[in-house]
Amino acid sequence: MFRTHIVTVTLVTFALIAARTLPTHGQTVVAYGENRVGSLSCGYDDPTPIATYRFTANEDDRFVAIVTECSDSGGVCNATACFCFDQCINVLDPDGMLAMNNCSPRGGNNATQRYRTRVQDILFKAGTYSITITDGDRTGEGTYTLFIQRTNQPGRAEPLFSGDVLVITQATCGGVDTYTFAGLEGQIADIVMSPNTGSLKPRLELYDPLGRSIALPGNGTVHAPLPRDGAYTVLAYSAVDETGTYRISFTLSTVFVRGDANDDGALNIGDPIHIFNLLFLENRPFGCREAANGNNDAGVDISDGVYLLSFLFLGGPPPATPAPACGADPDPIGSPGDLGCERYQHCP
């Protein structure tokens, strides 16, 4: 069961001390986009009661690290009642100073609860960082998965293309998958993650090209207008420790007004003139072919300019949907009627 938690002063204080005083030898290298499985045992007789990792970062990386509890041994450690595995995550900068910290709540002697704990912030220095994972009170033990990523220029990311429908296996408890896609300002991204087999409970996050969040985890559905041109980052995972397969579908569309071929926000004589100019004089591509396809046939040609002239001056039929208001192309992606629309700037 996943619970939103409040960090207690006791656990944070311990974590600050642990990050500086516990042994950090045997560091494991972890890379952006990697899911790394690890374990901790009771600390009082363990010579290395801390798991330590290191990674290389650039200045201004927008960093996220997630620790997901996978198993909790509970029980008794050295005749001391063992609380739940209460994971703490600490990130130390290249100078050894604590950059960020978070702990799951102190769970009591209930080994059935599972928590996902994360830290997220901008890394202001380039160099080698350290991550330490401890149990909050050093009396719990269990296994976990560590995931790290930067949401600007992510590592180990799989590309998404409009129209993709993929079936993905997530066999790692707490595993996070990273995807990227290229988008343009004003386009609409629709991403749906749905369980296929197993007990997955879909969660999606979307980040803009600067690594800033534009869609927080929800029920596995994202519908978002894109604020700028560039490469976007998607994180896909289950609520806590569930595994299985999932289906992820992705479409990228541009809302537009059909007939507004010159993208000035109005339908007038300038639009058929723009069509004729690009077809016969300027020989350059349309910014939005669908907007110029006034009769919504299988291409943009002289008939579209004639169609718009007829509508404007002879009482002919209006442009096909979407018109006169902004909307998406009703033709399915990849169909003969789908001519594409890379950019249209006069829809909200």
Boundaries of every domain in the chain: 9-150, 158-254, 255-348
Q: Which amino acid is at 111?
A: A
Alpha carbon of 209 to those of 10, 104, 192: distances in Å?
Answer: 38, 30, 20
Alpha-helical (H) ranges within 172-285 are 270-277
Q: What is the pLDDT of residue 7?
A: 38
The class (CATH top level) of 158-254 is: mainly beta
pLDDT of residue 72: 81
Lookup: tokens for 40:
């901790």
Please identify which residue in the block is written with the tokens 């994360």. Answer: 118
Sheet of 244-254, strand order: 164-170, 244-254, 187-198, 221-225
Query: What is the structure's pLDDT at 334?
Result: 77
What per-residue confidence (pLDDT) applies to 3?
A: 35
Alpha-carbon distance 89 to 133, whole Å?
5
198: exposed, middle or buried (C-beta count within 10 Å: 0-12, 13-18, 19+)? middle
User: Which residue in this structure is represented by tokens 């077809």?
Assistant: 279
- What is the rounded CA–CA span in Å between residue 290 and residue 296? 7
Which tokens sit at 139?
């009396």
pLDDT for res 79: 55
Residues 6+ apart with CB under 8 A from 34: 147, 148, 155, 156
Provide the pLDDT for residue 115.
Answer: 83
Which CATH number describes the domain made up of 9-150? 2.60.120.380
Does 9-150 match 158-254 in CATH topology? yes
**H or E stretch at 312:** helix 302-313
- For residue 10, the model assigns a pLDDT of 42
- Structure token pair of residue 60: 């201004």
What CA–CA distance (Å, rounded) separates 240 from 238? Answer: 6
Give average pLDDT by consecutive 10-residue segment, the chain, 348 residues. Answer: 37 46 66 94 62 96 95 64 76 96 72 82 97 82 93 97 95 96 90 93 96 89 92 95 95 92 95 96 90 93 96 96 90 85 85
The pTM is what?
Answer: 0.81
CA distance 88 to 95: 20
Per the listing, tokens 């799951």 go with 104
Buried b (16+ CB within 10 A) or exposed e, 216-225: ebeebebebe
